[in-house]
Structure formats: structure tokens, C-alpha cells
Amino acid sequence: MVKQPVADMDLRSSALGNGVSGKPPINRLYQTSTMAALLDAVYDGETTLDELLQHGNFGLGTFNSLDGEMIVTDGVVRQFRAEGLAAEVPGSLKTPFACVTYFEPEKM
């Protein structure tokens, strides 16, 4: 199986200089797999959380075998499970579906 993002969409013109000079790209959404694949019961993916975090510090997704909801904030991945538990998880875990972007608030 070839690992390749299904969607890596630049939401603004590349002429604006997104991602230049080592800065994280702005207005870019990185998505691994598709919601359609998830709905078709593709519950195991090959993308690790470490790989996912190379594309953003803020986002949503799930874990292999649909083992909870994923919330990414400030580059930290947390797993929220059905029994109400929430915890940071290791970067070696894999995801069948996730979307991340780089986010920096304008005001604190």
C-alpha cells in the first residue's frame, strides 16, 4: 500500500508565500484518508501520529479500530474514549482518518 495523503489542500493561492522560509504553511488542511473510506469500514490506517504532527498542530480525527476520538491542540494529541477517559497518547499510534492544520491564535 502506498502511503499518500488523500487531501493536502492549499486554501489560499500559493503565490501568497505559504510555507516559505521554514514557516509552517498557513491556511492549509492536511487530511489522511477520507470520510467516505471511514464510512466504508476502513478502520485501520498506516499514518502514525508523529507523521500527522509534521503537518499541523491543531485538528480532529480518530484512532485505528475507532478507539476513541482524537483532538489535537498545541501539537499534543489526546484520545477521548467512550468511558469518559482522556489522555495524551504516544506518537507511534496510527490513525485511519484525521485532519490537521497549523493554528496560532491572533489574540490570547
Taking only the tens place, the pLDDT of each residue in 19-67 is 456 778 888 999 999 999 999 999 999 999 999 999 999 999 999 999 9
CA pair distance 89, 80, nearest whole angstrom:
10
pTM, 2 dp:
0.77
Which class is domain 1-10+25-79?
alpha beta
CA pair distance 99, 71, nearest whole angstrom:
10
pLDDT of residue 69: 98
pLDDT of residue 32: 95
pLDDT of residue 79: 98
Taking only the tens place, the pLDDT of each residue in 6-22 is 444 444 333 334 445 67
